[in-house]
Amino acid sequence: MYYTPHIDYAFDSVEYIMRAVNYGWLLRYTHANGASFFFIAVYAHIGRGLYYRSYVHPREKVWYTGVLIFILLMATAFLGYVLPWGQMGYWGATVITNLFTVVPFFGIDIAYWLWGGFTVSNATLNRFFVLHFLLPIVLAGLVILHLIFLHKAGSNNPIGATLYDDIKFFPYYVIKDFFGFLIFIWLFGIVVFFYPNALGHPDNYIKANPLCTPPHIVPEWYFLPFYAILRAVPNKTGGVILMGGAIAVMFLLPTVDKQSPFKSPLFRFEFRVFFWAFVGTVILLMIFGTLPADEPFTTVSRLLTTYYFSYFLIVLPALGWFEYNAIYEPLLPVHQNEQPEWVDLAFPTLKILPWSSLKFGLISLLLSWAGYKKIKIHPAVPQGLVGDPIPIVLSTPEIEVLLDNKYDKSTNIYVARLIKK
């Protein structure tokens, strides 16, 4: 209503909204900081998916749509950053749109089409303004598709179990998510009302000047890791390929990291070490994205970029291969090609603990490490033991396990009959 998508009036119209429109300052600060907090939630969500391997079967489509949402969200945020027509937004648009010129044969034409001329101009601002409110509609459609795939495949859980007794969304998840929402809104309110410009750049309060280049062009904080990867390569084409590959490599995760039999990081110490090293790498890339492209920052950025891609393309496949061949396969009771219709296994129970869900969990863990796909423990208590055990189901490869009530009190052994699925 008050914003004007014109290079002569856009900056002044934003200042008018801030100073003259009733609660315009609140609307603008909520919108700008809301984008940053939305990215905080998105990065936390992606991190959780990477940590708990939420991209493996049967949730590949959930992961693919999630990555598409992330790409579209970044595009929408970039377009919005240009609209106030501040100095940093203008030169950020100049840098990013120039990256399309590396596309063979059609690169220059794509850049001219985006600009609507031969440089970032009024036509560019108008197109960015239209796309900024059209892309969220596409984004909403992708979110709905994402939820449909999630509803079909089911949610993941911290122990990587395949649960047949689902927990109802209401009231359990509603209350838990509402509690997290209250904390999120509280932190968001603190930033909006007390530190509204903490996540922005002061140069964006200077009107765009095509004749004056800022000494150091810095994008919004949520683009900084990818910006650091772009600058780490001295060749423009190579930098663009790596920057795009830093996002595209996430599409490969369901393919390159599918060999490990363990879904949960709770049973994978080596994975946790490499994962937190990866998180530290992303944070350091974010920091180095704010620094000048000089030595030693450039060299360190290249090392961090190397580990970023190695984590996806080398570390995860190698860990999966190691866990399958060195841990999982040797524990198989018989060779997979020679598995009988059923096998009896005996595991000693723990004398020091009462018969409870903890014992069921320990036995389930032993059986899962032995390589059986579905471990279904019947909620029956063997004679001579007390407690109220809870049925537990874990997921490992090709066999369904039924624990019969075969308990030898003299030898303290609980016998499980493993039936081929």
Q: Tell me which residues are annotated as active site.
A: 151, 155, 176-177, 220
**DSSP labels for 44-93?**
HHHHHHHHTTTTSTT-HHHHHHHHHHHHHHHHHHHHHHHTT-BHHHHHHH
- d(CA 330, CA 323) in angstroms, rounded, equals 10
Which DSSP symbol is given to 266?
A: G
Strands in 413-420's sheet, in edge-to-edge order, are 342-348, 413-420, 399-408, 374-376, 393-395
Cα separation, 26 vs 33, in Å, equals 10
H/E run at residue 288: helix 269-288
The helix (H) or strand (E) run that includes residue 343 is strand 342-348
Two structure tokens written together for 318 = 């190698």
Residue 108, CA distances (Å) to 101, 118, 236, 244 in order: 5, 10, 14, 18
- DSSP-derived letter for residue 213 is -
Dist CA 255 CA 234 (whole Å): 31
Tell me how far apart the terminal alpha carbons of the chain are, to the nearest angstrom.
63
Put residue 201 in one of left, alpha, beta given phi > 0 → left and psi -120 to 50 → alpha.
Answer: beta
